[in-house]
Amino acid sequence: MTVPSEVTASSGSTEDLVADHVLEFPGGYTRTTGPVIGRFLTELRDGRIVGVRTADGRTLVPPLEYDPQTGEAVTGEFTEVGPAGTVESWSWVNEPRAAHPLDRPFAWALIRLDGADTSLVHAVDAGDARAMRPGLRVRPRWKTSRSGHITDIESFVPEVTKIVSPVRMEYRVRPGRALARFLEGVARGVFLGCRCGSCHKVYVPYRLSCPQCGVAISEEVELPDTGTITTFAINNLPDPRAPQVPFVSAYILLDGSDIPMIALVGDVPAHEVRQGMRVRAVWVPEEERTASMSNIKWFAPTGEPDAEL
Ligand SMILES: [Zn+2]
């Protein structure tokens, strides 16, 4: 970039000279609107936004008396547009001035109202600059008392596209015969499994048929409450059953069983949990037990050396 020499020469002495001016017509300045702008403002006063058709069928919003593309007079045919529209571009105003429509940070935006072929400049009360984006859907927020002025629309506001709704389900589970039998065991502090008479695999929780052989199972096996962690996951979202966040849920192979069961792991920092870790169930006190898995708070390390997997 080249700098003219006279600017360079004078900049040292004139840079600090500043004079503030205000150009204002304090009482306002009366002008007639003409039929096209007049119609637009009258409709605004009545809570509607209209555009005007051009000879080639486009809709100008705000309406103009002449088509800026062709210079031809518009048709005089008005059509209601919006009131919702889409933000095309914007400029964020961090420090509103006294004459601005809002006294908090807002955006001046180019808004293409639905049905319009041109865009209108207006304020968008988005709360935060990060809420602004091209394509943001907005709607006018009207003043309750209107006079036929563009400020009859106080500002545009984003459409509601997201709500937080509480989710709650209440349901009752009736265990089948197998689960009922397993929970009877849990109620007295033991894990009940079963052994398949055909493949000799031991399953826990207790079940009535072998998933591999398909045969009915009749041999019940009482398993100890110790086992080995085979795989685990560290969870970073809170769970009412878990001791803290992060917490660990793991597949635990109870001693004597061939199929791991899923349970929480507690009394150990999440990052210390590992595959092969030996664990024992931590039961709630006997007087608090019911026929439910909540009898087992979690599995805690036993301190034994890790098992080979
Ligand atoms: Zn089997």
Query: Across the 309 residues of the chain, what is the mean pLDDT of every consecutive 10-residue run?
Result: 41 68 76 85 92 91 88 89 93 91 93 94 92 93 90 91 84 86 92 94 92 92 96 90 87 95 93 96 93 92 93
Amino acid at 8: T
Q: How far is the CA of 200 from the centre of ligand 1 (A)?
A: 6
Q: How far is the CA of 219 from the centre of ligand 1 (A)?
A: 12
pTM equals: 0.50
Q: What tokens were used for 64?
A: 């103009």
* pLDDT given for residue 4 in this prediction: 41
In the 8-state DSSP scheme, what is residue 99?
T
Q: What tokens were used for 285?
A: 């006190």
Which whole-number Å values give the CA distances from 224 to 39, 190, 257, 270, 293, in the listed order? Answer: 86, 7, 9, 24, 16
Q: How far is the CA of 221 from the centre of ligand 1 (A)?
A: 14
Q: How far is the CA of 277 from the centre of ligand 1 (A)?
A: 28
Q: Which residues, by Cβ under 5 Å, contact ligand 1, an ion?
A: 196, 198-199, 210, 212-213
Q: How far is the CA of 36 from the centre of ligand 1 (A)?
A: 86
How far, rounded to the nearest angstrom, does the alpha carbon of residue 50 sit from its chain's CA centroid? 35
Q: How far is the CA of 215 from the centre of ligand 1 (A)?
A: 7
Amino acid at 186: V
Q: How far is the CA of 257 from the centre of ligand 1 (A)?
A: 13
Q: How far is the CA of 109 from the centre of ligand 1 (A)?
A: 70
* pLDDT given for residue 219 in this prediction: 94
Q: For the chain, how many helices (H) and strands (E)?
A: 3, 16
Q: How far is the CA of 233 from the centre of ligand 1 (A)?
A: 29
